[in-house]
Structure 1
Amino acid sequence: MLYFSRWKTVLIWAVVLAGVILALPNLFTQDQLVKLPDWLPKKQLALGLDLEGGSRLRLQVDKDHLPDTDATIAILTRRLSELGYTNRIVDGQRNGRVLVEVPGLYDSQLLKDILSLTGELHFQMVDDSVPVQQAIDGTPPEGDEIVYSFDDPPVPYLVKKEPLVSNKNFVDAQAGIDTATQEPVITFRLDSIGADRFSKATKANVGKSFAIVLDNQVLSAPVISEEIPGNTGQISGNFDLSGASNLALVMRAGALPASVTVLEERTIGTDLGAASVASGKIAALIGAALVIAFMLLTYGLLGVIANIALVVNVILILAVLTLFGAPLTLAGVAGIVLTIGMAVDSNVLIYERIREDRRAGFSVTQAIDSGFSRALATIVDANVTTLIAALVLFTLGSGPVHGFALTVTIGIVTTLFTTFTLTRWLVSIWVQRARPKEVPGALLKLVPDDTRIPFMKLRFLTLGFSALSSIAAIVLFAIIGMNFGIDFKGGTMVEIQSHEGAIDLDDVYSRLEDLNIGDIKIEPFKSDNRALITVGSQGEGEDAEQTVGVKIRGELQDDFDFRRIDVIGPSVSSELSQAGMLAVGLSLAVIFVYVWLRFEWHFALGAILATIHDVLLLLGMFIVFRMEFNLWSIAALLAIVGYSLNDTVVIYDRVRENLRRYGNSMSLPALLDASINQTLSRTILTSVATFLALIVLYIYGGDDVKSFALILAVGIVVATYSSIFVAGPLLMLFGLRGRDVTNKGPSAVSGQSGA
C-alpha cells in the first residue's frame, strides 16, 4: 500500500497541478488576467445569483401550446439581447417550464414586464357600421370581434378580425417623444408587404379609425386623416416612456408563439450579493483554519499531511467548478465549509487505525500500511452513503438545495482522491525518508486509548428516550404542524432598506394593509433601517402572487430600496414540497438497499431507523421553536441523513469485523460495547472537526446560512448520539448473531481501539 510506481506519482501530481492551474485565475482580477500569457487558463469561477446579485424567473408556457416552447425560448433570448443582457441563461425544462437567470439585474419587474408580455400587436380597422353596444348585446357582424381598451373602466371597440399589419410586418421599432405633443410614442418601420397593405388601407378609409391592439387590448384608436404612404409610422397610446420602450423592444424581438406565466421570482440586489461573498470567504477561511489547527493538535506531523490534503481538496473542488462553469452559490459555500469539516473524517479513520495497530504491536511501517488497507472499506461505505443523499438532493433539488448538493458531491469525490492517493503518497515519502520509530504523538487527546464504557447496559434507557422523543415529534407534527416558509406554501418575501433613518414598522404595515393583499408580517431585519416583509399566499393562482410584488413595489419604492424579492406561486411551492419529501424518502430507501447489500438486513434496518430517529428529532426542534422550514432546511436534513449514516456505518463496519473475528465466542452486548468503544475516538474527533466549521458558518453566514448551520450543528450532536446509543442497541433488538454476517463483505483484520 505504501509503494508508488513512478507513473502513479506523476499521475497524482499531474492531477494536483491541473487543479492548481485551473483554480489559480480566481486569485486575480480581470485586469491582471489580461496581462498574463495567453497560454495560461483565464477562466474564473462563476458566481450564483445569490453571490453576484440578479434575478431568477421560472416561467410556464401555456400548456395548450407546449410544442411552441423551443420557439418561445428563442424569442425570450432575443428580448434579453435587446435589453443588453448577454450573460444570461434561458433554459427549457420539463412540461413547458423555462428558467431565466440574469446576473447583475436588480429590476426584476422590468424583466417580468418584458418576458411575460406576449407582444401580439395588430392594426385592425374599427367597424362603425354597427353601434358597439348593439354588437355586445347581440352578435357581432361576421368577421368582427369585440376588444377592450387598457383604460379603467375599459372601453369596448368593434374591430375587423383581419389585421392590416401584424408582428411579422414590423422591421424595427424605437421609443421616443413626439416633438409636437411631448407624449411618448413608438416609431416603427414596416416591411414592403406591410407598408403596401397599410398604405392602401389608410387611403381607402380616410376619416375612419383603426385600432392599435396589443395582446387583445386596444392601446389607442387614431382617426385616419389622410393616406399614410411609405413604410414608417408612429404609435401613441396609454403608456409612459418606459412602457413605450418596453413595447418597442417586444416589437423588435417578436411576439411569443404562446403566452407565459411567471411561477417563481427570486431577486437579490448586487450589494447583498457582495456582502454574501465577503461573509462566505470569511466563513471558509476561518473554518478551514480551525479545522487545520485541530488536526495539528490531534495528530502532529500526520495532521500536517492531512492539512496539505485538505487544502488540495478545496483547490480541486474550486477547479472542478471552474472547469465546468458550474456557478458557486451561497449554499455551495456552505457545502464547501461542511466538506472541510467532513473531509478530515477519512484521515481520522486511517490515523486511528494506524494508532490502534501500533498499540497492538505492529511496527510503524506495518501499522501505517495496515491502517490504510483496513480503513478502505469503511471509508468507501461511509462516503457512498453520504454521496447517495447528495446525488438525490442534486437530482430532485432546486435553488440552494441544488448548489449545496453539487459542492458536497464534488467534495466527496475529491476527498476520496486526496485520501487514497495524495495523503498515502505523502505518508509513504515521510516513512521512506524519516524511517520513524514511532507514530507521531498528539498535543490534544479528546478520547483515551482504551475506553470500556458499558453502552449496552444503558440501552433500555436510551432506546426508551429515543422512542418517546420520536413519538413526541410525530404528535407535535400532527397537532401543531410545521412553520413552512414561502418555499413550501407560496407567498411573497421582500427585504427592504430605508433610504435614510430607521424604519417605522407600524407605518409600513399600515401602508401595506391598505393594499388588500392578505396576511402581512413585518419584522426588523439585522438593523433598524432594514425590515423583512412576508405576505401569505393569495390562494388565487400564479398571477395573484405576482400582483402582490407589484403592489408592494408601487407603494414603497419611493422610500425604500428592495434588497431581495422572492415570489413563489402555488404550483412551484407544491412541487418543492413534494420534491423535498421525495428526496428524503428516496435517499433513505436507496441507502437502505446499499447497506443491506453491503452488510445484512439487521444493519440496514438499524441504520435507517437510527437515521429516521435523527430526522424526527430535528423536525421536533423545528416545531417546538417555530423555526421556518424551507429549502435550506431540506438541504440540512439530507446532509444530516448522510452524516448520520456515515457515523453509523463506521460503527457497523467495526461490528461486522469483530463478528468475523470472535463469532459467537463473545456475547453480543460485549461485542457491541467493544465496537462502539473502538470507534469512539473517530466518532468524537470527526464530530468536533465538523462542528468547528459549522460554528464559523453560523457566526459569519447570512440568515439562511445561519439557520442552515444551526440545524446541521444540532443534527451532528443528534447523529453522534444515535450512532452510539441507538444504532448499536437496535442490533441487539433485532437478534443479530455472528453467523448472519460471517459471509458478507470483504475480510479484514480486527483491532482493539480506534476507528
Structure 2
Amino acid sequence: MQSSPIRSAIIVIVAILGILFTIPSFLPKDILAAWPGFLPKQTVVLGLDLQGGSHLLLQVNRESIITERIKTLRRDVRSALANDNGIGNLITTGPDSITIELTDPTQKAAAMTAVQKLQNNVSSSFGVGGVPELAFSETPDGKIVVSLTADGVKERMSSLVAQSMEVIRNRVDEVGTTEPTIQRQGQDRVLLQVPGFEDSERLKKIVQQTARLTFHLVHPSMTAAQAEAQGIPSGYFILPSADGGNELLNENIELGGESLTNAQPGFDQQTSRSVVSFQFDTRGAITFGEITSKNVGKRFAIVLDNQVITAPVIQQPITGGSGQISGNFTPQTASDLAVLLRAGALPASLDVVEERSVGPSLGADSIRAGITAGAVASVLVLAFMVIAYGLFGVFANVALVLNIFLILGSLSAIGATLTLPGIAGIVLTIGVAVDANVLIYERMREEQRAGKSILAALDAGFHRAWGTIIDSHLTQLIAAIVLYFLGSGPIQGFAVTLALGILTSLFTAYTVTRFFIGIWYHWKRPKTLKIQHFRFIPDGTKIDFMKMSRNAIILSIVLTVLAIGTAYFKGFNLGIDFVGGSAIEVQHTAEGDADPARVRELLETLHLGEVQVQSFGTPQDLLVRIQLQEGGDAAQQVAVQEVTKTLATESYEVRRTEAVSGTVSGELAFNGTIAVLVTLVAILIYVWFRFEWQFGLAAVTTTLHDVIMTVGLFSITGLEFNLSSIAAVLTLVGLSLNETVVISDRVRENLRKYKKMSVPEIINLSINQTIVRTSLTQFTVLLALFPLVFFGGESIRGFTIAMTFGSIFGMYSSIFIGGPILIHFGLKPRSEMEEEKEKKAKANKRADGAAV
C-alpha cells in the first residue's frame, strides 16, 4: 500500500491533463478565445445527432463512367481512323465497348494499328505504371472491337473518387459551412458530413450535380424533330433543352468549363432575371473569341449536365472572354450554379446511397436528453456507492468522477466525435467503472475474514483482484474494438467512448483508488476495518445453484426455442439500416397532438408503396417510414420531398431524415452479423487462452444464450432492429462475459485451493463467494441503464431497453448456465487431473522400459 513519488506524480499529472482537456468543451467561445495559448483549446466534437447537420454517403456511378468513357472513345476512334488516316468506318456502340466496321476491309491492319495507339494505362495513384484501359479483339466477320477492361474501369473509378473529393470540398467551402468532414470510404464512395447545415436537399443538389459545362454549335439547318424523323446526321446528337424542347448539337466540344476562372450570380439589366455571369482564362477567351468570330449568325448552345440551358444566336464576335448564362433561375439557384462552376465539374456522377440529416432543435433535445440521463445515472451510482461502502465508496466516487474527466478529455485530445450513442457509452461506463472497485472491496473483505491483518487485507484486495479485473475489462474491450471496425457513424462513436471508458476505468479504479486508500491508511492507522455497509445478499450463503440449474436450463431451453421460433415465424421490425428506404421524423408545431391516422390518410394519396406512420417519443412527434422506391435514389429523394411538402400543409416540421439504399442496407446487415460472430470467436480464443478450454466453451455458450434472448426480445416486442441494436448486442456480449469471467476466475482459484472437492461443490462455492459482488455490480449497471431508458431519448430507447434486458439475463446465465456446461464438458478437480498425469507418467515409463 506504499505509493511511490513517481506513481503519485503520474496520478496528479494525468488528473490535471484530463481536467485541462475537458474544461474547453464547457467554456463559451469568447472565453475560450482568450484562453492562454499554452493551455489546450481542443473541444469535444459534437456529432450531427447532437448539433444538427447533414450526412451523405456518395457512390461513384459506375454506369455513367463507362458511358462517358465510351462516348469519348467513339470520338477518338472516329478521329484516329477517318480524320488522321482516311479510313472509312461505321461505329456501333455497346454497353462497354464499340464495334468498328470498315468500309474497306483491306485496311483492317492499318485500322487496328491506329486504334491501338489509343491505349493508355490508368492508375489511381500519382506513380508510374497502372493497368491497360482498353482491350482489342476481332469478331468472326472481321469487325474490330475495342472494349474497356474491368481493371481499367476499377482504377479509373478510384482515381475519380479522389478528384471528386476535391471538387466536393471546394463546393462545400464555397457555401460557407464550417468544418465539413470529407472522407473516402472503400473503392468508390465518399463520406460527407456537414455540421449545422440541415438543408440536406440543397446540399445534395450542390454536391451531386456534375456541373459539366460545355459549348456546342447547333446544326445550322436541321431541327431536332427533323433529325428524329429523317435520321440523325453523323457527328451530331440530340439533347433536351431547359424550355422543354430538344436541340440537335454537334458532338465536338468547342469549349469546356475547365477554362472558366470565375462565375458569379447576377441580374440581367434588360429583363431583371437572375443570370450567371462567367469569365474565361486567357486561353479560353482566345478560343471563345475565335469560335464566335467564325460562327456569327449561328446558334451556340451552352450545355450543363447534358441539358441545353440556352442556345442564343451569335450576333457578333465576343472577344472579352466573358458571357452570361440565362434561364429560369431564382436568386438561390443562380447562386448555387455559380458555386458549382467556380468549384469545377465533378469527374463522374455521384449517387446518394445513405443520407441522414438532423435539425438543430432535435440536436438540442438530444443533448438535453443525454445530459439528463448522465446526471441522473451519476447521482444514483455515486449515492449507492456511499450507501454500500461508506468512506470506501467515497474513494470509488472520486475515482469515478476523475474517470469521466479522463474520458471527455481523451475525446477532446484525439478529436473524436461525441454522438448520442457515445453519451450512452459514457453513462454505461459510469455503471461499469465501479465494477472494479466492488471487486477489490469484496476481495478485501474476504481476505480480512480469512484472518489477515488490515494492511495485508487491503494489499491483497488489490493484488488478487487485478487478474479478474483485466479479464473482465478486456472482454468488453474486444467487443468495443469489433464494434468500431465493423460499425459506422454514431455506432463508432459509441465504441470509442466505451473503449476509452474501459481503459480509463482500469487506471482510476485500481491506481487512483489505491492511492487514496494508501494515504488514508497511513494517516489514520485504523484498528478495525469496516468496508461494506449494505449488501443485497448476506455473506456465507450456501445455495445449491447446481441443483437449481436443472430447472433453469429447462426454462432457458423453452425461452430459446420461443425466441428462435418467434424470430423465424414473426421476423423483426427491421429499421431502414437493414431494409433500405427513408425515415422522416416530424413534429406537430400547431396546437394539439400529432394525428397518425390523418398523416397516414394524407400520405396514401401519394402512392409511394408501403408507408408506416407511428408515434415516436412525445405526443407531438411521429416517425414516417417509406419503402425503397423503384426509380432508385432520384425517386427516393422525390418521395421524401413529396412527404415533406404534404405534411408541411398540416403544420408538421421535419426534425430528422434518414435514407439508406438497398446496397448499403445489405452491407450493414452483413457487417452486423459478421461483427457478432467475430466477437464471439475472439472472446472464445481469449478465454480459452486465459483458462482451460471448458471455460471458453462455457463463456461462449452463456453469451450466445444471452444474445438469443435479447434478439428474441426485439422479435417478440416489435422494437425496431437497427444498427443500434447490433451495438446493444455486442456491448451485451462484453457485460455478460464480465460476470462469467469473474465466476470462472474464482472457480479456477478454488480448483487449486480445494483439490479434493468435487467440481459441482467448487462451482457452488465459487458462485456463493462472488454473488454478493455480482449482485452489487449488476445493480450499479442497472442504475446507469434505467435513466437512459427513461431520459435518454427515443432514438436510443430500443438500444437501452435491450441492454437492460440483456444485462439481467447475463447475470442469470452466468450463475445457472455456465456451471453445468463446465461439468458437462468434463472439468475435473485438481486431484483427478494429478492422478491422471501420474498414471500417464507411469504408463509412459513402463512403455519405455518395454522398448528397452
Q: What's the TM-score, normalizing by structure 1?
A: 0.95
How far does residue 32 in structure 1 lie from its aligned partner after superposition? 1.9
Question: 2:692 maps to what in 1?
Answer: 600
8 Å Cα contact 2:213/2:304 also seen in 1: yes
Q: How does 1:61-100 map to 2 (within 5 A)?
A: 61-63=60-62, 64=153, 65-100=157-192
Per-residue CA deviations over 1:274-305 (Å, capped at 9, x if unaligned) read 11112211211221111011111111111111
Deviates more, 1:558-567 or 1:378-387: 558-567
1:279/1:420 CA distance change after superposition, 3 Å: same
8 Å Cα contact 1:539/1:570 also seen in 2: no
- State whether structure 2 residue 5 is matched by structure 1 residue 6: yes
Distance 2:386 2:417 in 1: 33
- Give the secondary structure class of the aligned counterpart of 2:417: coil
Distance 1:576 1:703 in 2: 22
1:613 to 705, 712, 715: 705
8 Å Cα contact 1:350/1:375 also seen in 2: yes
Distance 1:517 1:726 in 2: 49
Write the letter of the residue equivalent to 1:45. Answer: V
8 Å Cα contact 2:242/2:327 also seen in 1: no
1:715 to 784, 806, 815: 806
Question: 1:625 maps to what in 2?
Answer: 717
1:234/1:617 CA distance change after superposition, 3 Å: same
- Give the secondary structure class of the aligned counterpart of 2:324: strand
How far does residue 221 in structure 1 lie from its aligned partner after superposition? 2.0
How far does residue 240 in structure 1 lie from its aligned partner after superposition? 2.8
1:321/1:287 CA distance change after superposition, 3 Å: same
- State whether structure 2 residue 626 is matched by structure 1 residue 519: no
- State whether structure 2 residue 42 is matched by structure 1 residue 43: yes
Question: 1:206 maps to what in 2?
Answer: 296
8 Å Cα contact 1:60/1:98 also seen in 2: yes
How far does residue 530 in structure 1 lie from its aligned partner after superposition? 3.1
How far does residue 741 in structure 1 lie from its aligned partner after superposition? 11
Deviates more, 1:23-32 or 1:51-60: 23-32
How far does residue 632 in structure 1 lie from its aligned partner after superposition? 1.1
Per-residue CA deviations over 1:207-265 (Å, capped at 9, x if unaligned) read 32222211112222222333333122111124333222211110000001121111111
How far does residue 704 in structure 1 lie from its aligned partner after superposition? 1.9
How far does residue 137 in structure 1 lie from its aligned partner after superposition? 5.0
1:741/1:38 CA distance change after superposition, 3 Å: farther
Distance 1:222 1:305 in 2: 81
8 Å Cα contact 1:202/1:226 also seen in 2: yes
Distance 2:677 2:335 in 1: 50
Distance 1:685 1:19 in 2: 28
2:765 to 674, 699, 707: 674
How far does residue 710 in structure 1 lie from its aligned partner after superposition? 1.2
- State whether structure 2 residue 629 is matched by structure 1 residue 538: yes
User: Which structure is larger by alpha-carbon Rg, 1 or 2?
Assistant: 2
How far does residue 539 in structure 1 lie from its aligned partner after superposition? 5.0
Q: How does 1:265-284 map to 2 (within 5 A)?
A: 265-284=355-374
- State whether structure 2 residue 160 is matched by structure 1 residue 160: no
- Give the secondary structure class of the aligned counterpart of 1:208: coil
Distance 1:378 1:90 in 2: 42
**How many pairs align?**
739
8 Å Cα contact 1:358/1:367 also seen in 2: yes
Write the letter of the residue equivalent to 2:31. Answer: Q
Question: 1:693 maps to what in 2?
Answer: 784
8 Å Cα contact 2:214/2:256 also seen in 1: yes
Deviates more, 1:585-594 or 1:235-244: 235-244
Question: 1:354 maps to what in 2?
Answer: 444
Question: 1:587 maps to what in 2?
Answer: 679
How far does residue 418 in structure 1 lie from its aligned partner after superposition? 1.2
Q: How does 1:421-436 map to 2 (within 5 A)?
A: 421-436=511-526
Per-residue CA deviations over 1:499-557 (Å, capped at 9, x if unaligned) read 42344444433433232221111223344443221112225533333332233234344
Deviates more, 1:192-201 or 1:344-353: 192-201
Write the letter of the residue equivalent to 1:245. Answer: S
Q: How does 1:66-145 map to 2 (within 5 A)?
A: 66-137=158-229, 139-145=231-237
Q: Percent identity?
A: 43
Question: 1:292 maps to what in 2?
Answer: 382
Distance 1:510 1:193 in 2: 60
8 Å Cα contact 2:441/2:531 also seen in 1: no
Distance 2:832 2:161 in 1: 55
- State whether structure 2 residue 341 is matched by structure 1 residue 254: no
How far does residue 267 in structure 1 lie from its aligned partner after superposition? 0.5
How far does residue 198 in structure 1 lie from its aligned partner after superposition? 2.2
- State whether structure 2 residue 569 is matched by structure 1 residue 479: yes
Question: 2:726 maps to what in 1?
Answer: 634
Question: 2:845 maps to what in 1?
Answer: none
Question: 1:233 maps to what in 2?
Answer: 323
1:551/1:220 CA distance change after superposition, 3 Å: farther
8 Å Cα contact 2:757/2:829 also seen in 1: no
8 Å Cα contact 1:599/1:741 also seen in 2: no
- State whether structure 2 residue 666 is matched by structure 1 residue 574: yes
How far does residue 651 in structure 1 lie from its aligned partner after superposition? 0.3
1:111/1:443 CA distance change after superposition, 3 Å: same
Distance 1:694 1:741 in 2: 44
Distance 2:681 2:448 in 1: 39
8 Å Cα contact 1:659/1:741 also seen in 2: no
Question: 1:16 maps to what in 2?
Answer: 15
Distance 2:506 2:614 in 1: 45
- Give the secondary structure class of the aligned counterpart of 1:173: strand
2:309 to 215, 219, 243: 219
8 Å Cα contact 1:523/1:531 also seen in 2: yes
8 Å Cα contact 1:121/1:166 also seen in 2: yes
How far does residue 114 in structure 1 lie from its aligned partner after superposition? 0.3
8 Å Cα contact 1:607/1:727 also seen in 2: yes
Question: 1:736 maps to what in 2?
Answer: 827
1:591/1:741 CA distance change after superposition, 3 Å: farther
Distance 2:709 2:372 in 1: 31
- Give the secondary structure class of the aligned counterpart of 2:659: strand
Question: 1:753 maps to what in 2?
Answer: none
How far does residue 398 in structure 1 lie from its aligned partner after superposition? 0.7
Write the letter of the residue equivalent to 1:547. Answer: V
Question: 2:850 maps to what in 1?
Answer: none
8 Å Cα contact 2:302/2:310 also seen in 1: yes
Per-residue CA deviations over 1:386-405 (Å, capped at 9, x if unaligned) read 11011000111012211111
How far does residue 148 in structure 1 lie from its aligned partner after superposition? 1.7
Distance 2:622 2:553 in 1: 45
Question: 1:315 maps to what in 2?
Answer: 405
- Give the secondary structure class of the aligned counterpart of 1:679: helix
How far does residue 7 in structure 1 lie from its aligned partner after superposition? 1.4
- Give the secondary structure class of the aligned counterpart of 1:660: helix
> Structure 1 unaligned runs (5+)?
744-755
How far does residue 742 in structure 1 lie from its aligned partner after superposition? 7.6
Question: 1:53 maps to what in 2?
Answer: 52
> Structure 2 unaligned runs (5+)?
63-152, 835-852
Per-residue CA deviations over 1:359-385 (Å, capped at 9, x if unaligned) read 111111111111111101111111111
Deviates more, 1:70-79 or 1:19-28: 19-28
How far does residue 695 in structure 1 lie from its aligned partner after superposition? 0.9
How far does residue 494 in structure 1 lie from its aligned partner after superposition? 0.8
How far does residue 344 in structure 1 lie from its aligned partner after superposition? 0.5
